[in-house]
A and B are shown apart, each in its own frame.
Chain A
Amino acid sequence: MTEKEGHIKYAGQFRRSWAKLKRNRAALFGGVLLLAYLFTALFAPLLYPGNPSAPNLIKSLERPSLEHLLGTDELGRSIMGRIIYGSRVSLLIAVGVIAVGLLVGVPLGLVSGYYRGKVDFIIQRVTDTMLAFPGFLLALALVAVLGVGLKNTVISIGISMVPIYIRLVRGCTLSVREEVYVEAARAVGTQDRGILLRHILPNVMIPITIQTSLGMGMAILFAAGLGFLGIGVQPPTPEWGAMLGSGRVYLFCSPHVATFPGIAIFLAVLGFNLLGDGLRDALDPRFRI
């Protein structure tokens, strides 16, 4: 297959997958949710011009009204404003977590699957140990060591995602390395680094893309969980989980304080999950669950 024919083949595959994705109404709905989420995060200062962290105790725990569409929290801050700015925090966490997962997990998975032998054995035993802890508990253990705050939340959840990427990429690398074109590249003297980056990595991109969409949803849920427990992002930063955690105290008199941040988390995670499912169906139905 010449390079041109290769491009035509991939363009054809892309068009077919795109057409399939467009027909999937659930995935489209997920895409719309994510666009709204991205728009809110990027244009937060335009959508809510005030300071979302400035307290106004005279207006504390007000119910939803025309002045404050989603009401106010215990310090009189607009819940709407804090949810809008909270989308920035959760997006930052999700992107940071995935960056940690990808930057550490993908190279280790590639090396583990390509070289096999002792390197593979060591990486896999470390992965086994990390997978012996449920993801959220691993993040919790890491927070216990690293301490609370935005940066440590990203590192802790990011590290808990690493074994998932290692396993995924290793599995795909093991099968791709046996392909004829990899053998051909090796035969013409291409170095291992070139083979890994130019021949193997592009062929494991589909599962990585799917996992990234699903992983971002998971990262938002984990970060919100840590925030809710009081060991994630700390106040007064508007973080959805922490907002829910502080709203819990007022559940009996002002349930709206805990209700709306939860809906925001739910919609953002739903968007990533629907799009991830749609991508899986369109790009690789073998992975369908």
Chain B
Amino acid sequence: MLQYVIKRLLSTIPVLIGISLLLFFMLRMLPGDPAQVLAGQMATQEDISLIRHQLGLDRPIHVQYAFFLSRLVRFDLGRSARTQNPVTAEIWARLPNTVLLAVVAVTLACIFGIPAGIISAVRPYTLIDYVVTSAAIFGISMPVFWLGLMLVVVFSVILQWLPAGGTGSWKHVILPSVTLAAFVVAFIARMTRSSMIEVLSQDYMTTARSKGLKERVVIIKHALKNALIPIITVIGLQFGLLLGGAVLTETVFAWPGLGRLIVDSILGRDYPVIQGAILVFGLLYIFVNLAVDLFYAWVDPRIRYD
């Protein structure tokens, strides 16, 4: 297991280097002087000169990259061009909100998606299967921001049960997390269904049934356990979709998270914050998938010996 963990950890290094290169060249691809871009539109000539010197922009490109990398490792991402606060402080203030939204959404998606997929797989080509598969394809095709707006119309405008946006209480979490979950639940239900259908056709399922085990035990203990690996993988991969969806959902519900921060920064051309937020999103995605890989290597020994 330890060997697998080390191998998997090492495999993230080229990706991390790739991300650092992407962020490094992102600023240099912009038209004009990167120091001017980083300083913002209101900066004085002295500010720009100071930033140019601080970032070593007057030195050769490989020295600049090495310098950039050393700052990145220390999480020194510079200052926001709009607020002048350190970028890390801006990100730290928003990150917990996005993580909260993502965790609640994934939990809701699993609670609804896995049972729906199981029911659909156990009774294939019946009415309930058609309902689940249709709902899943509808969920995948629906723009997440539109669903969010429609939920606001129903639950905030017409019924007046829940707040339309902002933070402050558990009631504020419901609509944004349900919106995000609806997006992911469809993928989880589809994957659970196809994975379960495959497992249910295996010989060991017939053996389990012929031993006289109850159907519920057969489904949960024998089938679901074996079908879980692709489901867990999909949950890890959908985490990326969730982060993308978070950008839109946070905008709909004025939720002060990382997604909202990145959109505001793009609109305000605040490049240090854009860089920082993209870095954090990339790292979150890599480490969630790393955790998923390690988790199922732990659950299924076949993977770590492959």
Contact = CB atoms under 8 A, between A and B. Distances in A.
A244 B152 CA distance: 14
Nearest to A267: B141
Interface stretch (A108-116, A183-191, A250-258): A250-258
Given A145-B29, A251-B149, A255-B157, A133 B143 contact: no
Contacts of A224: 143, 145
B141 A228 contact: no
Contact of A132 (B15, B30, B144): B15
Contacts of B30: 145
Contact of B137 (A251, A258, A273): A273
A137 B14 contact: no
A270 B18 contact: no
B108 interface: no
Interface string A86-118: 000000000000000000000000000000000
Q: Say which size band chain B's interface belongs to.
A: 35 or more
B14 A229 contact: no
B293 to A, nearest CB: 14
Interface in A196-216: none
A143 B269 CA distance: 11
Contacts of B105: none
Contacts of A143: 266
B201 to A, nearest CB: 13
Contact of B267 (A217, A231, A248, A262): A231
B285 A244 contact: no
Contact of A133 (B137, B144, B266, B285): B285
A266 B140 CA distance: 9
Given A132-B285, A221-B143, A251-B157, A258 B15 contact: no
Interface stretch (A64-72, A121-129, A164-172): A121-129
A136 interface: yes
Nearest to B230: A289
Given A273-B140, A274-B137, A277-B137, A141 B26 contact: yes
B138 A251 contact: no
Interface in A15-39: 26
Given A145-B30, A274-B137, A229 B281 contact: no
Contacts of A251: 149, 152-153, 157, 164
Contact of B149 (A136, A229, A248): A248
Contacts of B137: 26, 270, 273-274, 277
Nearest to B194: A289
A282 interface: no
Contact of B18 (A128, A247, A273): A128
Interface string A273-284: 110010000000
Contacts of A255: 153, 157
A79 interface: no
Interface in B224-247: 240-241, 243-245, 247
A274 B18 CA distance: 35
A266 B244 CA distance: 18
A138 to B, nearest CB: 9
Interface string B176-209: 0000000000000011001000000000000000
Contact of B263 (A132, A231, A258, A269): A231
Given A135-B244, A273-B137, A289-B190, A141 B146 contact: no
B14 A265 contact: no
- Residue among A126, A251, A288 having the largest count of chain B Cβ atoms under 10 Å: A251
Contact of A289 (B18, B26, B191, B252): B191
A270 B146 CA distance: 14
B22 interface: yes
A229 B263 contact: yes
Interface string A212-256: 000001000100110011110000000001001001100110010
A258 B15 CA distance: 40
B131 interface: no
A222 to B, nearest CB: 9
Given A141-B26, A252-B157, A129 B18 contact: yes
B256 interface: no
A244 B18 contact: no
A224 B143 CA distance: 8
A125 B13 CA distance: 10
A47 interface: no
B132 interface: no
B149 A141 contact: no
16 contacts: A26-B134, A125-B14, A132-B18, A132-B282, A132-B285, A133-B19, A133-B278, A133-B285, A137-B282, A140-B244, A221-B143, A225-B244, A251-B157, A252-B157, A255-B157, A261-B146
Given A144-B265, A262-B146, 15 more contacts: A125-B14, A129-B21, A135-B240, A140-B266, A144-B271, A144-B274, A221-B141, A228-B248, A231-B263, A258-B146, A262-B150, A265-B143, A266-B143, A266-B146, A270-B137
3 nearest CB pairs, A to B: A129-B18, A262-B146, A136-B244
